[in-house]
Amino acid sequence: MKLLKRLSEAFGGSGHEEEVAELVAAELKPLCGKVSTDTLGNVIGVKRGKGRQAGRKRIMLAAHMDEIGFIVSHIDDKGFLRVHPAGGFDPRTLMAQRVTVLGKGTHRLTGLLNVAGKPIHLQTSEDRKKDLRVGSFFVDLGLPAETVKKKAEIGDRVIWQRGFTRMGDCVTGKALDDRIGVYVMIEALRAVEGNRHDIYAVGTVQEEVGLRGALTSAYEIAPDIAIALDVTLAVDTPDAEAQSRVTELGKGVALKIMDSSSISDAKLVREFRALAEEHEIPYQLEILPRGGTDAGGMQRVRGGARVITLSIPVRYVHSVNETAHKDDVQAAIDLLAVYLSQ
């Protein structure tokens, strides 16, 4: 899981995925005949199939390299930064977090997210009733305004800080959404043997702001079959009702039936289920009421593609403590490798 640690700790806000892209390209190179980067920044590795050209299908894999983050929108006279979100944040997850500001040139500044207003000691009961919004937060860099303005400017990226670590049977860190999908893609490719069909492994950009990289790369590749690799919610935590769990940690890779961006191809779902059963790979079926994956983008380019999402169940999605079970990660790698080896 050393590679997953490196992927998780790399910085890659939407539209600024270069650091992750470099890692992905380096990993794909020995596994694919050809690796390229397109105009938008998607990294595309091609592993040609051994079948006859005429019968060969194009299978596209997509795992997004971007993570949710912020962009500096204002620097005030005291050197405090205001930030604009790029991706969906729950403001409650921002309390007391440390962030890294990717400043001018090579400046990397540690900062603190804080809510504008009074500390608890000075709050009135009226103050306490105020809604917490993402826009309520500012970043303190611990520097005078002149220094801040030398090192940072409007448009700089802000990513939260959190080291990747093992915890019990799980792994936890920031940006497992979707570096864990990137990891599954790379490890499955490593395990593939004798693929008949052409495999296009794509690290996509800008998924968190609207599946943008998946759309352009799928247009170029024109896949017959497209498989998104992404996290899904595991709401198997206290006070969650059984019917709202979506998935559970440790119960295997999730085969997505639908979410709000796509309905998986029914034949593909059946095929993956049959393979999982044949190879005794644990799996669960998933319906996500809200949220989407790159499958939603890949499905609707050109004449359309048959899509499915293989999901890795994750607790606390879109927080610094995204948490996955090691067995579920392995199940996702095994199932994808078995499918691609056909």
Active site amino acids:
207
Contacting Zn ion within 145-204 (CB under 5 A): 177-178
Q: How far is the CB of 61 from Zn ion (least distance, A)?
A: 14
**Residue 299 CB partners (closer than 8 Å, separation 6+):** 226, 262, 305, 307
- Is residue 66 close enough to count as binding Zn ion by CB under 5 A? no
- Is residue 328 close enough to count as binding Zn ion by CB under 5 A? no
- Per rule CB under 5 A, count of chain residues that contact Zn ion: 3
Binding part of the chain for Zn ion, among 145-153, 162-170, 229-237, 274-282 by CB under 5 A, reads 229-237
What's the token pair of residue 340? Answer: 């691609």
Closest among 9, 27, 85 to 322, alpha carbons compared: 9
**Which residue matches tokens 């690796």?**
35
Q: How far is the CB of 73 from Zn ion (least distance, A)?
A: 24
Using the minimum distance from each CB to Zn ion, give the nearer residue, 63 or 199.
63
Phi, psi (deg, nearest 5) at residue 126: -65, -45
Binding part of the chain for Zn ion, among 83-91, 210-218, 226-234, 240-248 by CB under 5 A, reads 226-234
Which residues are paired to 283 by β-bridges? 253
Cα separations (Å) of 174 from 15, 109, 131, 305? 18, 18, 26, 31
Cα separations (Å) of 232 from 5, 205, 209, 258, 313? 19, 18, 17, 11, 5
Using the minimum distance from each CB to Zn ion, give the nearer residue, 156 or 230.
230
User: Are 184 and 171 spatial neighbours (Cβ–Cβ below 8 Å)?
Assistant: no
Q: How far is the CB of 63 from Zn ion (least distance, A)?
A: 9
Using the minimum distance from each CB to Zn ion, give the nearer residue, 156 or 322.
322
Q: How far is the CB of 94 from Zn ion (least distance, A)?
A: 19
- Is residue 230 close enough to count as binding Zn ion by CB under 5 A? yes
Residue number closest to Zn ion, CB atom: 178
Binding part of the chain for Zn ion, among 8-16, 168-176, 223-231, 272-280 by CB under 5 A, reads 223-231
Closest among 328, 291, 323, 290 to 310, alpha carbons compared: 328
Using the minimum distance from each CB to Zn ion, give the nearer residue, 177 or 198.
177
Cα separations (Å) of 221 from 45, 60, 197, 216, 224? 11, 8, 14, 9, 9
Q: How far is the CB of 215 from Zn ion (least distance, A)?
A: 15
Q: How far is the CB of 301 from Zn ion (least distance, A)?
A: 19
Using the minimum distance from each CB to Zn ion, give the nearer residue, 128 or 290.
290
- Residue 235: count other Cβ atoms within 10 Å of its Cβ: 17
Distance (Å, rounded) from C-alpha 26 to C-alpha 292?
28
Residues that bind Zn ion (CB under 5 A): 177-178, 230
